[in-house]
Structure 1
Amino acid sequence: MKAFKLENEPKIESGFKTPEHYFENFSEKLMHKLPENEPKVISLFQKNKKTFIMVAAVLIIALLIPVFYTSTVNVNSKEIDTATLENYLSYQSNINQYDLINGLEADEINNINTTIALEDATIEDILVSNGNLEHLIIE
């Protein structure tokens, strides 16, 4: 095999050459080739401004409908349902019947008092079917 030496062998010249004084006048030539007046830029929002505003209004209204609905429902239902109140007092609170009676006024107690006409047969059926007679006697 033949010895290869880089310094002694003839060098291959590149196929690319720059013209003389190319980089000296480059910026001037480029500025002459550019157009002097700039093109007019048209914004998408300016062209379809009415459409954009209508779409934004519809989205805002669609997002605010649930807020208005819940606020009007809460305003209209300030009174507590009687069944809900009875269930709460029966199962959730530690209030017994004597506490409730002490909280009532005399005219309210008179409105509650009603005459219940029970026949003897009905009372006997209740006493027979209810095995917890001691609890009824204590109350």
Structure 2
Amino acid sequence: MKTFKLENEPKIESGFSTPNHYFENFSERMMLQLPEEEPKVISFFQKRKRILMMVAAVLVIALLIPQINRSLRTSKELDATTIENYLSYQSNMNQYDLINALDTEDINNMQATVALEDKTIEDILATNANLEQLILE
């Protein structure tokens, strides 16, 4: 194979050439060709900014409603049923410990006036098999 020497081979000239003194005043000529007033740019979001803000607000509110509802629903106060269930099933307190812990004001607050007819009381005593247990308590 024949050796190739870059300096000895004929060079191919490019087909492009620049005129003489073309780049001397290029920036001045370019600035003269530009329009003096810049075109007004209208953003896509500028027209619909108000609508987008409303949609974003509705979305935020929709996402926060379950959280707010959950925080309002869980109160820190215990209701009477929860306390009664805890004392009945989870605690090792019996009825005598509970009676000793109550003072007279608590006992007076618990007293309820229930108007029972004699016939209702007779029916309960007649149908109840644990009558002796009720009497002993």
TM > 0.5: yes
Note if 1:6 corresponds to 2:13: no
Counterpart mapping for 1:1-139 below 5 A = 2-74=2-74, 78=77, 80-82=79-81, 84-106=82-104, 108=107, 111=111, 122-123=129-130
Q: 1:2 to 1:79 in 2, by over 3 A?
A: closer
Distance apart, 1:94 and its partner CA:
3.4
Distance apart, 1:38 and its partner CA:
0.5
Residues 91-120 of structure 1: CA deviation (Å, up to 9, x unaligned): 2223233321111124628949xx9x867x
Q: 1:62 to 1:25 in 2, by over 3 A?
A: same
Q: What percentage of aligned pairs have identical amino acids?
A: 61
Residues 76-104 of structure 1: CA deviation (Å, up to 9, x unaligned): x945142x322211222232333211111
- The amino acid of 2:86's aligned partner reads Y
Please list every run of 5 or more consecutive structure 1 residues that lacks an aligned counterpart in the other structure: 127-138
Query: What root-mean-square deviation, in Å, do the aligned CA atoms of Structure 1 and Structure 2 show?
Result: 3.7
Q: Secondary structure at the match of 1:65?
A: helix
Q: 1:8 to 1:62 in 2, by over 3 A?
A: closer
Q: 1:12 to 1:60 in 2, by over 3 A?
A: closer
Equivalent residue for 2:117? none
Distance apart, 1:72 and its partner CA:
4.1
Q: 1:27 to 1:68 in 2, by over 3 A?
A: same
Q: 1:106 to 1:46 in 2, by over 3 A?
A: same
Q: 1:26 to 1:66 in 2, by over 3 A?
A: same
Equivalent residue for 1:131? none
Give the Cα separation in 1 of the matches to 2:26 and 2:38: 21
- The amino acid of 1:90's aligned partner reads S
Equivalent residue for 1:132? none
Q: Secondary structure at the match of 2:6?
A: coil
